[in-house]
Amino acid sequence: MAQMDTASSGDKKGGKKGKKLSTRVDLTPMVDLAFLLITFFMLTTTMNKPQAMQINMPVERNPDDPPPPEVPAAKVLTLILGSNNVIWYYEGLQSPEIKNTDYKSIRSIILDKKKKVEAAILPTDKIKSVVIIIKPTNDSNYNNLIDILDEMAIDEIGTYTVVPVTPQEMALVDQFKNAGGAPPAAN
């Protein structure tokens, strides 16, 4: 571009002669434009790759299916996904002792439980790993659900299930909240 300017400004209209003009065209702006377009198309192609996680929902049970094996209470960890990104959790099948945490600290809790359960496994056990029951409440959102399902993948938990929360558990959570145990809204 620069050399075009100097060439034209060097000899102004007066001294300019047709035969002296070169047939060469300055391609710089053209290359500029071409690269701009390349950049655009490159970015649009690479950015358009949607990822997905595979979700397997349980199939509806037939009435004549054999009942699922009983899960011993010691192997169960229940996570209740509450509002404001809070997780309420308790160990065992029924427990009055309910604690809360957030999505960052849940990993250590799950891994602790997993380690504890795997250490206590007997060769005769039918269920050989921790069983996590995920109970999203109506106040939780889709982010929470995907986060916790993702957590299962990260922590390599093979046996988990998503079931609706029971009224008793909701009452337990409310009771705990009213007792001043509710944490500030976590992110």
Partner 1 sequence: MPKKKIARKSTAIDMTAMCDVSFLLLTFFMLATKFKPPDLVEVVTPASISDTKVAETNIITISIDKDGRVFFDMDGIPTKLKLIDEIDTNMKLGLTKEEKDNFALSAGVGVPFNQLKSYLNLRPNDQKSFKSPGIPVDTTLTESNQLFKWVAYARIVNPQARLSVKGDGGVKYPVVRAVFATLANKKIQGHKFYAVTTLKANPNQPEEKE
* Burial of 88 from C-beta contacts in 10 A (0-12 / 13-18 / 19+): buried
Binder of partner 1 out of 142, 167, 178, 187 (CB under 8 A): 142
For residue 31, state whether it binds partner 1 (rule: CB under 8 A).
yes
Residue 57, classified by CB atoms within 10 Å of its CB into exposed (0-12), middle (13-18) or buried (19+), is: exposed
Binding mask 143-162 for partner 1 (x = CB under 8 A): xxxxx-xx--xx--------
Work out whether 180 is an interface residue with partner 1 (CB under 8 A).
no
Q: Residue from 5, 10, 27, 178 that binds partner 1 (CB under 8 A)? A: 27
- Residue written as token pair 């308790």: 90
Q: Which run of H or E residues covers position 117?
A: helix 106-119
Angle at the Cα of 117 (from 116 to 121), degrees rounded to 5? Answer: 125
The 3-state DSSP class for residue 177 equals helix
Stretch that binds partner 1, among 66-74, 90-98, 132-140, 176-184 (CB under 8 A): 132-140
In whole angstroms, give the CA distance from residue 150 to residue 59. Answer: 21
C-alpha 184 chain-centroid distance:
23
According to the binding rule CB under 8 A, does residue 140 interact with partner 1? yes
Select from 31-39, 91-99, 167-175, 178-186 the region that touches partner 1 (CB under 8 A). 31-39
Task: Assess 185 for contact with partner 1 (CB under 8 A).
Answer: no
* Contact pattern from residue 42 through residue 81 relative to partner 1, giving x for each residue in contact according to CB under 8 A and a dash for the rest: x-xx--xxxxxxxxxxxxx--------------------x
Under the rule (CB under 8 A), what is the footprint of partner 1? 3, 26-28, 30-31, 34-35, 37-38, 41-42, 44-45, 48-60, 81, 136-147, 149-150, 153-154, 164
